[in-house]
Amino acid sequence: MLDEGTTVVEALRTVTIKDVVYWTATAWDDVKNSESRGQNLENVVNEHLELANQLPVVEPVNNKDIHKWFDGEIQF
């Protein structure tokens, strides 16, 4: 959550590699937990895709990118 008066850009500038690694690990745990509850992997991929594309990135993320991240083909 943003502090009052802090913009999204200012908040993003404070993000560290440690934050990103933690978020990635947490997201991966969510995927594993959702699969164990019987959720469809594609639903989880689509949820992460929607979130990823809300970030200010140069190129949009697609389903293949998310699958590659989950499979460990793309390293951070």
The pLDDT value recorded for residue 76 is 46
Contact 19, 63 (CB under 8 A): no
Give the start-to-end residue ranges of the domains of the chain: 16-71
* Ranges of the chain with pLDDT below 50: 76
Cβ distance 44 to 31 under 8 Å?
yes
First to last CA, the chain: 24
- CA-closest candidate to residue 27, choices 41, 4, 44, 39: 44
